[in-house]
Each structure stands twice: as structure tokens, then as C-alpha cells.
Structure 1
Amino acid sequence: MAGTVERMTAYIKARIDRGTLEPGNKLPPTRALMHQFDLSDNAVYRGIALLKAEGYVTSQQGKGVFVADRRALIAGTERVQGITRPGEEIHHKHSIRTEAPAWVAEHLGDGECVNRARTVRRGEAITEASQSWVHLDVVAVVPELDEPRPCNPTWQAVYQERSGNAVRVVHKAFRARIATPEDREALELEPEPAEPAAVAVVRNVYVTGDRVIGVGEAVYPPDGDITVP
């Protein structure tokens, strides 16, 4: 019976987490992984792409795949405060009123909300493409949410300052997925390569008191240097 990508990635991640595979160690070649886990070459490529997106491994052209030196993600409270890394620039893309997608409505509730999109750029490369879905109650306090321009530094920080209500991140979900056409467009990636590429996805839920006021999703490109600790 054929193996699964999930089994291969779980095995490799467990070895890295336990320290039996250390940063800089080289992973077995594709053919060896195919034999060990009874997978096709495409399935192994897909598994490696997912491991890259989660920050477990990195590839070096012509040399192979190596265990990565994982770094902490700037997220949660720091992103609420508008903190970026040196050399990063935030570019606002749009602010529109829309119906909440199903996964957002599970947290925010059904109905209309404000969808805001932005990118974080370092030089010519986009290092993050993110969206927020914000409850209309917040717009009463931060009316510029309806305007096609950024809030300085973030809508969460502005709402917190004006309302006096602390905004915190109560839930952060991390996963990897094979890049969708929408992901590739947002990150300005080249057309789909022969080998599948994965992106890292972080979802946050923003709360004040006991109320959810916003939901966010950030997408990070393949081979990015941002991982969840």
C-alpha cells in the first residue's frame, strides 16, 4: 500500500523537533525518500514543499535539502503594534465592505464586514500578504477603515487607543498549503513551477473584552525566512 505525504512530513518533523536532525543536516535525496515512504517523486516534492513552508527545511540549488535554523515569527501583539523588521515596508492594497467568508464568520459572525488587504515588502520581494476582516462596530470608532488607505500603525492599535479597550490575539493557527492562484498573485510569484510550491499561513483572531472584533490571515512565500516558533 502506498504511503502518504502526511506520514513522511510527520516523521521528518518529529526527528527535527527531537533534535536527531539538527540545523544544517542534509535530508536524504528524493529517491531515498520515495523508497522509504513508498511515495512517488511528485508526492515527495509536495512533502518537501510543505516542510519548507513550515520552516523546517530549506533548499540549496544543486546541493539538496537541509534542516533549517528556525526563526521566530513577528506576529500577535507585535503586529498589532505595527512592528516590522528592518528594511520592511507595508503597502495597503484595499479596504472594501464584503460578506464574511465562512471560516471568518465562525469567529466574527455572519454578515457584512470590512476586508482590508496589505503586503509587507523587503526590497523587490513580498515577504507577507495579509488580510483582515473587521467587525462593523469597529468602523464606528475607526471610520478610516472604510477608506482606501492604511491605518497608522494598524487598525487594531488605532481602535485600542481611541476606545480604551485593549486588543489582544487570543488564537493563532498555523498551517501550510500548496500555493493557490490567489496566493501566487498576492505574493507576486512566478507562474506555477514544475514542482509544487507551498506557502505558510497564519490566522489570528483579535478580541477586545469577550468580543471578537477581527480576524486576520497572513500568507508567507515558499523559502521564506519566517516560521512559527
Structure 2
Amino acid sequence: MAGTVARMAAYLRARIDLGTLEPGNKIPPTAALMKQFELSDNAVYRGIALLKAEGYLVSHQGKGVFVGDRRKLIAGESRIAGITQGKSEIIHHKLSARVQAPDWVAAHLGSGECVNRVRTVQRGDFVLQASQSWVHVDVAELVPEIDEPKACDPSWQALYQDRSGNPVKAADKTMDARITTAADREALDLDADFAVLVMRTVYVSGNKVIGVGEGVYAPGHPLSIA
């Protein structure tokens, strides 16, 4: 089944938003994009022109097309400060509930109860990211807002830092890939299995881990490898 210009553009936007294509990086060659998305060269050029108009890409005469520097990635302390990637993105908070920590979370937070917060980030009709955080129950003593299924203003990390007087840092960050789970497909509004990028972050205040997060990114409804 042939691809579409919109699909190719969404794929490149998601890679740029995620950071797998960084400002200054050269985008994949036209021939590679034609093959991946089963598009004509003219269709690829239209998609690139659209992304240029949006500020995602820039051309350098005689050198090619590169990622622009119009946006800042949500990462590290920028994430803690609650910075979003653009006014066109909408965050939907789905859930906040007390749960038993999954094994990989317990390895950081310790076993027992924690607060699980679930949200998605949407741009237009495209669900860009589905994320969860698991927050140590001690945080709720200072930030009771984490038990409510709505946004903390500006973020639970920033509120905890302000109220405790202890800096919160993203102490560890790992990137991996996996085939979508049933929960991933539901959250990202996918109707088939895809390869998705997964970022996990550990938040530390002082010598204590106070939360972990997992973001699952759908890079433009990528090609199925099932």
C-alpha cells in the first residue's frame, strides 16, 4: 500500500520532536524517503516543502536539507520546567491512580504503592506520545495534586522542587525500541503493531529517586514491521 505525503511529513516531524533527528542533522535522502513511503520524487519534495514552511527543515544551497532549530526538545530540566514543544500540542491527562509499582519501576522507587499518572500528547489528529509516570507516594505529602487526574502546574517535579526546596533532576535517561503492546496501540490510536521508540527517565531529589517516567513515541505512524 502506497504511502502519503502526510504520513511522511508526520514521520519526520516526530523524529525531530523526539530528537532522533537533531537541529543541524541532514534528513534522509530523497531516494530513501521515496522507497520507505512508496512516494514519487515530486511527492517527497511536497512533503519537504511543507516541513520547511512549518520551520522544521531548512535548505543549504549545494549541501542539502537539514533540521532547523525552531523547536526545543522536551528533555532534562526543560521537561521539569514544564516546557511544551508548541502551542499546537494538546496534553490529555487520562489517569492518576495508586498502584503497586511494576517490577522495573520498583527497581528504582522500591516495592509497594506509588502514584501512576497517564497522559497523551496530541498534535491535530496525530497522537505523538503516550507517557506514564510513577511517583513515590512521599511526594504526595507535598504535592497532593498528583492524585488528581489533571495537569500539575507547571509539573509535579517543579512543584515538589519549589515546596521542598530540594532540586529535582532527570538523573538517568535511556532510549529503547519495542513492538507496540496492546496498551501502546490503544493510547497511540494505532490499529496494527508498529515499532515504537521508548524513553525512560529517572527523577532524583537529593539522594532519593522520587519518580520514573516512560514515554512511548509514535513516529508518524511508522511502517509496520509485523
Same fold (TM over 0.5): yes
1:62 equivalent in structure 2: 39
2:90 equivalent in structure 1: 89
Q: Give the TM-score taking structure 1 as reference length.
A: 0.67
User: What count of residue pairs does the alignment treat as equivalent?
Assistant: 172
Aligned positions of 1:123-138 closer than 5 A: 123-138=124-139
* Aligned residues of 1:119 and 1:129 also touching (Cα < 8 A): yes
Quote the Cα distance in structure 1 between the aligned partners of 2:217 and 2:172. Answer: 18
1:146 equivalent in structure 2: 147
* Aligned residues of 1:76 and 1:169 also touching (Cα < 8 A): yes
| 2:179 pairs with 1:206 | no
* Aligned residues of 2:140 and 2:146 also touching (Cα < 8 A): yes
C-alpha deviations, 1:82-131, integer Å up to 9, x for none? 11112112121110000000000111110000000111111222111110
Quote the Cα distance in structure 2 between the aligned partners of 1:70 and 1:185. Answer: 31
C-alpha deviations, 1:135-154, integer Å up to 9, x for none? 01100000121122221121
Q: Give the TM-score taking structure 2 as reference length.
A: 0.68
Query: How much has 1:62 moved relative to structure 2?
Result: 2.9
Query: How much has 1:223 moved relative to structure 2?
Result: 2.9
Higher relative contact order (CA closer than 8 Å, sequence separation 6+)? 1
Identity across aligned pairs (percent)? 53
C-alpha deviations, 1:8-59, integer Å up to 9, x for none? xxxxxxxxxxxxxx633244998xxxxxxxxxxxxxxxxxxxxxxxxxxxx4
Structure 2 residues without counterparts, runs of 5 or longer: 1-25, 45-64
Quote the Cα distance in structure 1 between the aligned partners of 2:28 and 2:132. Answer: 34
Deviates more, 1:113-122 or 1:216-225: 216-225
CA RMSD, aligned part only?
A: 2.8
* Aligned residues of 2:33 and 2:39 also touching (Cα < 8 A): no
